[in-house]
Amino acid sequence: MKRRIAVVTGAADGLGQATAIRLAKDGYDIVAADIAPTDETVEAVSGLGVRSLGVRCDVSVEESVTALADAVADFGGADVLVNNAGIYPFILFKDLTTEQWRRIFSINLDGMFYTCKALLPQMQKKGWGRVVNIASNSFINGADPMLAGYVSSKGGIIGLTRALGSEYGEFGITVNAVAPGLLVTKTTAALIGEPGTPGASKWDNMIALQSIKRSGVPEDVVGAISFLTSDDASYITAQTLVVDGGLARV
């Protein structure tokens, strides 16, 4: 039997890379998509004995996503889509420009619209599919300043997840969201510093609010994604699973 194929966006590093590796361990062939080179991810996945394909893709550009979908079709067609690509610039609302607002939405929300439009038909043709959209606990707890654009876009993701879950259940396709808390990655370290370093107090502030008293890492989240892409989650759709150490209590 052919292995199912999982497409992961934002797969060059961080949560996207960790997700691609976890799904490869679960037995999926992997398409790693990112605007940045995915060579490192493809190499890691290939070492796990599954097929892998790296595709350069800007999810904010519809034509680029169409090219991604064509590459996925040639690879065998999507069974799973993990929409992970996103940005989170820290900008006070009074300083947030229309251009910045639209860029945040073009990547975080429009990008998911494009990938879902392009890849859901491939799943529908197969009669089985899993979509996992990466949202954020910031939409639920509302405690993060300087993230008006980001939090708003993540709220849109949860809305899109609910709507698509309602529409595609009859085709054997589930659509869910995972809402992580702040994770230690190269990107977050560049933005706010690494935990325990001078000036990186945001980590300590988060931990103080959490039930689990440590900073999160991508590997803390990939288990939830793995579950939602599995047959065990076949009766779950249009839901948002918060994975943040107990910061947001829903």
Residues annotated catalytic, as ranges:
150
Which class for 206: exposed (0-12), middle (13-18), buried (19 or more C-beta within 10 A)? Answer: buried
CB atoms closer than 10 angstroms to residue 227: 16
- The pair of three-digit structure tokens given for residue 114, joined into one six-digit string: 């494009």
- The pair of three-digit structure tokens given for residue 94, joined into one six-digit string: 């009074």
H-state helical runs in the chain: 14-25, 39-46, 62-75, 98-108, 110-126, 138-141, 148-168, 186-192, 201-209, 222-228
Distance CA(250)–CA(248), nearest Å, equals 6
According to DSSP, residue 4 is labeled P
Distance CA(244)–CA(37), nearest Å, equals 28
CB 161 within 8 A of CB 177: yes
Distance CA(84)–CA(217), nearest Å, equals 15
Q: What is the side-by-side order of every strand in the sheet holding 5-9?
A: 52-56, 29-34, 5-9, 80-83, 129-134, 173-180, 240-243
